C-alpha cells in the first residue's frame, strides 16, 4: 500500500454501483480505510453493492461537474465508470460505449486539478489487435500487442484512447496514472441477466433456468469453440490495488487476467458439472460472439509484482453459480434483486 496513504485518506471510486466498483469499495473498507467516496449514476436501489460506511453519491461522471465533485479532496481516484456490458451489449451499442470517453476525459482532468496522488483507469483486453484473435487456439496476448492498433470497434477504441490520456497526463503533467487491461471479470454481485452479462454469468443463469423449466436444453452464442480466459472478482480487486501502488507500473498498461484458457463449450461443461446436469446444446450462430480467441499473457505482471490472478475457474464458477441460483430464487419469491 502507498506509504503516503493514511486510514483517513480519501479514496474515490467512480462506477461504485457496478460489479467491480462495488467489490473495490468493499476491499478498501476491509483494509481499514475510513473515507471512501463511492459514486455511480444509477439510483442506490440499482447498485450491486451499497456500503453504508462509504460516502455514496449518485452522479453522472460523463459530466465535468460530477468529476470535479468525485475528485475533490481525494488522494486516489479509481475510474471504473463506463457504459458497458458483455458481448451482447458492446457489439450492439458502440456509440454508447464510445461516449464513455467523456468520463475519463473529465475525470482525469479533474483529478489532476484536484492534486490527486494516484489515478487508476480500468481498461480492457478489447484494446488488442483483433487480427491476432482470429483463432480459438490463440497465443496469449502481451501488452505490446495493442499496436499496431485495430481494437474492437466502439468499446475497444474508447479504452485505447483513454489509456493514451493516462500516459500523456503522466508524461506532460506528472500525474501518477495506472492502467489495467481487464480480461473477462466474473463473480458474485455482478450482472447476470438483461443483456449486459458476460459469458460465465450468462451460462450459469441459463443452466439455472433450464433446471427450473425442465427444458433440458441450453442455447450457446456462437459455435462454442470461441476461447477466453476468465478472472474471478477477488483476484481483480487485489490486482487493482497492487498495480496502483507499484511505482514501476506508472503509466504502463498491464494485463490483469487469468491465463487459464477455455472454450465456451468447456465453460458450459464446468457449469453443468456444478449443477449436476447435462443439457442439450443448440448454437446460435447469428448471436454476438466477439473474437475467436483471447488469453492473457501474464509475463509482465509476474515479473513486476511477483503475482498473478490465481483463483481457478472451477472454484470461481462454483461461487458464481451459487450466488446466481440464490438471486434467481429470490426473484421467484417476488423479492427485489439487482440483475
The angle at the Cα of 73, spanning 70 to 75, to the nearest 5 degrees, equals 90
Positive or negative, the CA dihedral 45, 48, 52, 56 is: negative
Name the packing angle between helices 264-275 and 199-213 (round to 10°): 40
Spatial contact of 176 and 186, defined as CB atoms under 8 Å apart = no
State which H helix or E strand residue 335 sits in. Answer: none
Question: Would you tell me how many other CB atoms lie within 10 Å of the CB of residue 24?
Answer: 27
Spatial contact of 148 and 129, defined as CB atoms under 8 Å apart = yes
Whether 169 is catalytic is no
CA–CA distance, 308 with 258 (Å, rounded to integer): 7
3-state secondary structure (DSSP) of residue 243: helix
- Which grid coordinates belong to 195? 443483456
CA-to-CA separations, 249 to 14, 132, 209, in angstroms, rounded = 21, 25, 43
Spatial contact of 249 and 304, defined as CB atoms under 8 Å apart = yes
Secondary structure (H, E, C), 187-232: CCCCCCCCCCCCHHHHHHHHHHHHHHHCCCEEEEECCCCCEEECEE
Positive or negative, the CA dihedral 242, 101, 48, 12 is: positive
Q: In whole angstroms, how large is the CA radius of gyration of the chain? A: 19
Spatial contact of 262 and 225, defined as CB atoms under 8 Å apart = no
Catalytic, out of 119, 121, 155, 169: 155
Quick one: 313 exposed, middle or buried, by C-beta within 10 A (0-12, 13-18, 19+)? buried
CA–CA distance, 236 with 26 (Å, rounded to integer): 13
Quick one: 141 exposed, middle or buried, by C-beta within 10 A (0-12, 13-18, 19+)? buried
Residues involved in catalysis: 155
Amino acid at each position: 500500500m502507498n506509504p503516503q496513504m493514511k486510514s483517513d485518506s480519501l479514496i474515490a471510486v467512480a462506477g461504485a454501483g457496478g460489479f467491480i466498483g462495488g467489490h473495490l469499495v468493499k476491499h478498501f473498507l476491509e483494509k481499514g480505510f475510513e473515507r471512501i467516496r463511492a459514486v455511480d449514476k444509477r439510483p442506490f436501489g440499482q447498485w450491486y453493492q451499497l456500503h453504508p460506511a462509504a460516502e455514496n453519491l449518485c452522479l453522472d461522471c460523463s459530466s465535468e461537474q460530477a468529476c470535479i465533485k468525485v475528485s475533490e479532496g481525494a488522494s486516489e481516484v479509481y475510474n471504473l465508470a463506463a457504459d458497458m456490458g458483455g458481448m451482447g451489449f458492446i457489439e450492439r451499442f458502440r456509440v454508447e460505449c464510445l461516449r464513455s470517453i467523456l468520463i475519463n476525459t473529465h475525470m482525469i482532468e479533474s483529478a489532476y486539478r484536484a492534486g490527486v496522488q494516484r489515478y487508476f483507469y480500468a481498461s480492457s483486453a478489447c484494446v488488442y489487435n483483433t487480427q491476432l484473435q482470429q483463432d480459438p487456439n490463440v497465443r496469449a496476448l502481451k501488452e505490446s500487442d495493442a499496436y499496431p492498433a485495430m481494437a474492437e470497434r466502439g468499446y475497444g477504441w474508447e479504452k485505447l484512447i483513454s489509456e493514451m490520456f493516462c500516459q500523456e497526463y503522466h508524461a506532460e503533467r506528472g500525474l501518477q496514472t495506472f492502467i489495467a487491461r481487464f480480461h473477462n471479470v466474473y463473480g458474485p454481485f455482478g450482472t447476470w441477466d438483461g443483456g449486459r452479462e458476460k459469458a460465465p454469468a450468462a451460462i450459469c443463469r441459463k443452466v439455472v433456468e433450464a433446471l427450473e423449466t425442465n427444458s433440458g436444453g441450453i442455447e450457446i452464442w456462437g459455435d462454442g469453440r470461441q476461447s477466453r480466459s476468465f478472472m474471478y472478482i477477488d483476484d481483480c480487486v487485489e490486482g487493482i490495488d497492487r498495480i496502483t501502488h507499484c511505482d514501476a507500473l506508472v503509466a504502463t498498461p498491464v494485463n490483469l487476467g487469468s491465463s487459464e484458457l477455455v472454450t465456451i463449450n468447456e465453460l458450459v461443461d464446468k457449469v453443468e458439472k456444478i449443477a449436476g446436469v447435462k443439457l442439450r446444446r443448440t448454437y446460435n450462430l447469428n448471436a454476438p460472439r466477439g473474437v475467436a480467441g483471447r488469453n492473457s499473457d501474464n509475463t509482465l505482471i509476474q515479473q513486476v509484482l511477483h503475482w498473478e490472478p490465481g483463483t481457478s475457474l472451477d472454484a470461481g464458477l462454483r461461487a458464481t453459480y451459487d450466488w446466481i441460483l440464490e438471486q434467481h430464487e429470490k426473484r421467484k419469491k417476488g423479492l427485489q434483486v439487482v440483475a
